[in-house]
Amino acid sequence: MYAQVVKSEGSKTRDEMTPEELAFQDRIDRGEKIEPKEWMPEGYRKTLIRQIGQHAHSEIVGQLPEGNWITRAPTLERKAILLAKVQDEAGHGLYLYSAAETLGVSRDELMELLHAGKMKYSSIFNYPTLTWADMGAVGWLVDGAAIMNQVPLQRTSYGPYSRAMIRICKEESFHQRQGYAIMMKMAQGTPAQKRMAQDALNRLWYPSLMMFGPSDKDSVHSAQSMAWKIKMNTNDELRQKFVDQTVPQAEYLGLTVPDPDLKWNEEKGGYDFSEPDWSEFYDVLAGNGPCNKDRLGARVKAWEDGAWFRDALVVHAEKAAARRAVAAE
Ligand SMILES: [Fe+2]
Ligand SMILES: [Fe+2]
């Protein structure tokens, strides 16, 4: 989950490229990885910082809606699983901040941009998690959509990002399965539990479809990112794949996807489905979702509460360096 608001200019034709840019594009076309100290166009570096930074922020902010349920998990086993899942997301954020740092931006700068509202995270996390069934639907749908986005990014052109994605994807598939396992339990439970599962699907279906970003016809920024292999598929391609994969899973659970127009289309070999309400998408992106203020407020508070510890680490490092200097005299 990331990249939904990444903007870049239209891609250059070969005639418009400088010799350096041509050589760079040829390397990418050959499938070579670009590594941190190597030459890269400024636009490539900037687009990657935004994309990886947003992705990192999404992992970290994404801990909040599920962290909310750790103390209320119904059994010790469920609690241990959810705790492990939420900790994984912290790890994903850290790999990705490290990958972004190799592009010459500091973690502090990225945090400042997030806290000032100048960098986004995935809008899905601005929706509340109201019941335990939401833990199932989030794992199943939100991590499911994240996998759909991230599996192709394992082949992205920037080495550190690609390697982070390989590791992250392994954990994401566990997240998706734990979510589906919760949904299964709820769907096979009492009528009230089944209603909770259906209600969670009803609320999270369209926000999950929004995770792939605006429709291709409104997303004019991806040509350059595709040429650079920073983006591997269009938003609509990924959304279609997600729907095709998820509908049979909902059927298996005995739940109904909240879309009266959902229909198998034999000719295209995929489902026809209703688009999300894009005005809601842009409204949430603009800061007006149900939880935007809470989410950002929680992150800013955590950052401020941790200031003393970061300061103490710096002082400790300085004292240790001074001691080493004295010992070396
Ligand atoms: Fe993650
Ligand atoms: Fe995840």
Q: Residue 221's pLDDT is what?
A: 64
Q: Residue 217's pLDDT is what?
A: 83
Q: Is the pLDDT of residue 326 over 60?
A: yes
Q: Residue 219's pLDDT is what?
A: 74
Q: Residue 7's pLDDT is what?
A: 41
What is the spatial distance between Cα 52 and Cα 2, in angstroms, rounded to a whole number?
8
What is the whole-number distance in angstroms between the Cα of residue 88 and the centre of ligand 1? 7
What is the whole-number distance in angstroms between the Cα of residue 150 and the centre of ligand 1? 10
Nearest listed ligand to the Cα of residue 175: 2
Q: Residue 6's pLDDT is what?
A: 41
What is the whole-number distance in angstroms between the Cα of residue 138 and the centre of ligand 2? 9
Mean pLDDT score, 137-144: 98
Distances (CA, A) of 153 to 3, 51, 81, 158, 219: 11, 11, 26, 10, 19
Q: Helix, strand or coil for residue 8?
A: coil
**Residue pLDDT, tens place only, 15-55:** 888 999 999 999 999 999 999 999 999 999 999 999 999 99
> In the chain, what is the greatest distance between 2 CA atoms, to the nearest angstrom?
79
Q: DSSP letter string over 154-178?
A: TT-SBHHHHHHHHHHHHHHHHHHHH
Q: Residue 10's pLDDT is what?
A: 59
pTM (predicted TM-score): 0.92
- Picking from 279, 268, 218, the residue whose alpha carbon sits closest to that of residue 243 is 268
Sign of CA dihedral 220, 221, 223, 226: negative
- Picking from 163, 178, 169, the residue whose alpha carbon sits closest to that of residue 148 is 169
Mean pLDDT score, 240-262: 98
Query: Quick one: what percent of the chain has pLDDT higher than 90?
Result: 91
Q: Is the pLDDT of residue 193 over 60?
A: yes
Mean pLDDT score, 276-290: 94
**Residue pLDDT, tens place only, 47-90:** 999 999 999 999 999 999 999 999 999 999 999 999 999 999 99
Nearest listed ligand to the Cα of residue 176: 2
What is the whole-number distance in angstroms between the Cα of residue 137 and the centre of ligand 2? 12
Judged on CB neighbours under 10 Å (0-12, 13-18, 19+), 158 is buried
- Picking from 210, 201, 199, 151, the residue whose alpha carbon sits closest to that of residue 179 is 201
Instruction: Report which of residues 7 and 170 the model is more confident about.
Output: 170
Residues 6+ apart with CB under 8 A from 83: 70
Q: Is the pLDDT of residue 5 over 90?
A: no
